[in-house]
A and B are shown apart, each in its own frame.
Chain A
Amino acid sequence: MVDVTLERYLTGGIRLLANKTASTEEPILRDIVPPQLVIALHQHGGASAIPIVKVGQDVAKGEPIAIPESPPSAGVHASSSGRVRAIETRLIPTGKRLRESLCIVLDTDGEDRPFDPGPAGAWPQGREARLERVRSAGIAGLGGAAFPTATKLERVAGRCKTLIVNGAECEPYISCDDMLMREAPAEIVSGALEMADLVGAPLCIIAIERDKPRALHAIRDAAITAADPRLKVCEIPTVYPAGGERQLIELLTGDEVPSGAFPYAIGYVCQNVGTAYALHRLATRGEPVTSRIVTVTGGGVDRPRNVEAPIGTPIGYLVERCGGYRDDVVRLIHGGSMMGYTLPSDDIPITKATSCIIAATSGEIRQSYEEWACIRCGDCATACPARLQPQELLVAATARDFDALESLGLDDCIECGCCDVVCPSHIVLTDRFRHAKRLYAEHARRLALSAEAELRHKRREQRLRLSEEGSRAAQEALKAKLRADNEARRKAIAAAVERARQRKRRDVQP
């Protein structure tokens, strides 16, 4: 049995115009080599990787240029062959925001000469060795969060009930997973099974939204060919955000990930189809992550399509390869239309977290309306897939009432933006929640610092008191000893005087 019918439905969520067809008409554009690459060292979740190349050094495609710091972290590789021009701090996009990171700037030589890792590139035996290889090969969640895959797999290994391979791709405009599933279904299935081996999962569900019939067919065929009893392909309803990790787990299994916990706590792990593909390439060909599929779309780009882009490709070059900008482009967005953010310029490089670039026209971006007062209609609460009460959170966020924010579950907000879309007063709730999360983190940090300062101050006082008491006791002992010594000396002197006196008496008497 390869197929599952789904009887559950997502809590909350909204239906959105998909806007995906524009970028799915042409096949994925492959083998592009930009003249310069800017490869970020801190593009994954967790710690930044440590550079191991020098300026001026020649590197080949797939050669390690930075090694992982203590986990969670992942290695970084040269995405094409060339010479290291500089190692410097640049602005890079991550899943949620822009950040500064050390980057390796590489002038490519156009040869795309592959790196030969020798026997070290072979797929090792044993779970631990393989996970280590996944870490050093730089595999990270290619769905958009770029969390190091090795760490995610490690946490669930041995207690995994179900591995969920996420091909939902619910956010409008993004079609990179769809195109990859159409063009490389067998590789995705093979990578998914390799992942199931790594975590010891007895069940592996590949979930795809109903609006991708061609991808669904391709994956189904590949699954039938693979004929593995663990494998199931599941068609899920087209609702945003059905592809969110927690939402997908609940949709498929009925189990809810507890607040504040991660899916591994209840035996589930979600991996994007792109990540499964990357794992397949590593396991069969020894190739680390040097590229990813990026959707370049929007009304402002001439020929919207998907591109297999080397990591570090400047966004401007990608758009150029897709026919360039049209005249009516007004904004460049990193990510999808719901959770993406505006980019300040197009010389920013792509990272492993870049699933989509939207060159938007004025008709495509949200009009900025005047915000009206909250009328407590509750539409946001109905739309919230995390079952929160956004209207209550808004009040608490405005008042900076951290206790209320905590008890209302601010931390469980996935920032999907559903509440913004349904709000009849045009209140931009998600931005407020993002801001409140930052303030709350700051508040929590202060509380922790206060508690630690108090504890250390108390210990210090105690220690000083003890050492004072100790030194007082030592002084007393010394005084007593000196007094005793004096006494003994006085006695000795007295005795000597007495003896002398007696001797004198004896001398006189005879």
Chain B
Amino acid sequence: MLTAVTVLTGLSLALAAVLIATERLVPERGDDAVERIERLLPRIQCAQCGYPGCRPYAEAIWNGDAEINRCPPGGESTIRALADLLGREPRPLDTSLGQASMDRVARVDESLCIGCNLCSRACPVDAIVGLPHRMHTVLTRLCTGCELCVPPCPVDCIELVPRHG
């Protein structure tokens, strides 16, 4: 009886020691975790979360600096997926951030465009083309609806329209 208790206690203590040592000595690979978080984001780089892109936001989530409800284009499904991955409580989307949605695309009003080139410089996915002083246009298939081209336009000729029709 005493032998059994001693052996089992000793064994469990030894295993616990090994586990604790492993956790201390082997650092968790933050890169992998950030990568996995980034995979769950829409990766359209709209920056509406307040971070300059999806990767920085993923890093902020991993470091515990940011809530998981700051991604408007990802919406509820992204929040749910992030909550599952990180074991955090899902919470409603922070609606104060913006309404970027992958269901919409930007459209340039061609009669107003002055060819200033500012929108195409703002586009994170190179979906706006045009020569300086010539009309610019949006490549609808590639546009993610991130709205980043809207504020730089000096003549307000860009609007977001539904993707289909």
Bound state CA distance, A456 and B125, in angstroms?
5
| Tally of A-B Cβ pairs under 8 angstroms | 35
Assess the B124–A460 pair: CB atoms within 8 A. yes
Assess the A460–B43 pair: CB atoms within 8 A. no
Bound state CA distance, A457 and B54, in angstroms?
11
CB distance from A459 to the nearest CB of B (A): 8
A15 interfacial contact with B, CB 8 Å = no
A474 interfacial contact with B, CB 8 Å = no
Q: How many residues of B contact A (CB 8 A)?
A: 13
A226 interfacial contact with B, CB 8 Å = no
Contacts of B144 in A (CB 8 A): 449, 453
B102 interfacial contact with A, CB 8 Å = yes
Bound state CA distance, A450 and B145, in angstroms?
11
A255 interfacial contact with B, CB 8 Å = no
Assess the A449–B124 pair: CB atoms within 8 A. no
Bound state CA distance, A453 and B105, in angstroms?
13
B56 interfacial contact with A, CB 8 Å = no
CB distance from B139 to the nearest CB of A (A): 10
Assess the A453–B126 pair: CB atoms within 8 A. no
Bound state CA distance, A450 and B45, in angstroms?
10
Assess the A457–B43 pair: CB atoms within 8 A. yes
Bound state CA distance, A450 and B127, in angstroms?
13
Contacts of A376 in B (CB 8 A): none
Bound state CA distance, A449 and B144, in angstroms?
7
For window 117-131 of B, CB contacts with A under 8 Å fall at 124-127
**Of all chain B residues, which has the CB nearest A400?**
B77
Assess the A460–B125 pair: CB atoms within 8 A. yes
For window 30-77 of B, CB contacts with A under 8 Å fall at 42-45, 53-54
Given contacts A446-B42, A450-B43, A450-B44, contact A456 B102 (CB under 8 A): no
Q: Contact partner of B42 among A450, A456, A460, CB < 8 A?
A: A450
Given contacts A453-B144, A456-B142, A457-B45, contact A446 B125 (CB under 8 A): no
A469 interfacial contact with B, CB 8 Å = no
Assess the A457–B42 pair: CB atoms within 8 A. no
Q: Contact partner of B126 among A451, A454, A460, CB < 8 A?
A: A460
Assess the B124–A457 pair: CB atoms within 8 A. yes
A452 interfacial contact with B, CB 8 Å = yes
CB distance from A126 to the nearest CB of B (A): 37
Contacts of A457 in B (CB 8 A): 43, 45, 53, 124-125
Bound state CA distance, A449 and B44, in angstroms?
8
Given contacts A456-B126, A456-B142, A457-B53, contact A446 B43 (CB under 8 A): no
B122-151 vs A, CB cutoff 8 Å, 1 = contact: the mask equals: 001111000000000000001010000000
Contacts of A453 in B (CB 8 A): 42-45, 124-125, 142, 144
Contacts of A452 in B (CB 8 A): 125, 142
A203-216 vs B, CB cutoff 8 Å, 1 = contact: the mask equals: 00000000000000
Contacts of A449 in B (CB 8 A): 44, 102, 144
Bound state CA distance, A374 and B113, in angstroms?
58
Contacts of B43 in A (CB 8 A): 450-451, 453-454, 457
Bound state CA distance, A459 and B126, in angstroms?
9
CB distance from B42 to the nearest CB of A (A): 5
Contacts of A446 in B (CB 8 A): 42, 102
Bound state CA distance, A394 and B126, in angstroms?
41
For window 443-497 of A, CB contacts with B under 8 Å fall at 446, 449-454, 456-457, 459-460
CB distance from B51 to the nearest CB of A (A): 14
Bound state CA distance, A450 and B42, in angstroms?
6
CB distance from A36 to the nearest CB of B (A): 27
Bound state CA distance, A457 and B126, in angstroms?
8
CB distance from A462 to the nearest CB of B (A): 12
Bound state CA distance, A333 and B85, in angstroms?
47
CB distance from A422 to the nearest CB of B (A): 33
Bound state CA distance, A450 and B71, in angstroms?
14
Bound state CA distance, A449 and B145, in angstroms?
11
Bound state CA distance, A453 and B45, in angstroms?
8
CB distance from A183 to the nearest CB of B (A): 44
CB distance from A396 to the nearest CB of B (A): 15
Bound state CA distance, A449 and B127, in angstroms?
12
**Of all chain B residues, which has the CB nearest A446?**
B102
| A to B CB contacts below 8 Å, 17 in the list | A446-B42, A450-B42, A450-B43, A450-B102, A452-B125, A453-B42, A453-B43, A453-B45, A453-B142, A456-B125, A456-B126, A456-B142, A457-B45, A457-B53, A457-B125, A459-B126, A460-B124
The 3 A-B residue pairs with the shortest CB-CB distance in the complex, in nearest-first order: A454-B43, A456-B125, A453-B44
Question: A interface vs B, CB < 8 Å?
Answer: 446, 449-454, 456-457, 459-460
Question: B interface vs A, CB < 8 Å?
Answer: 42-45, 53-54, 102, 124-127, 142, 144
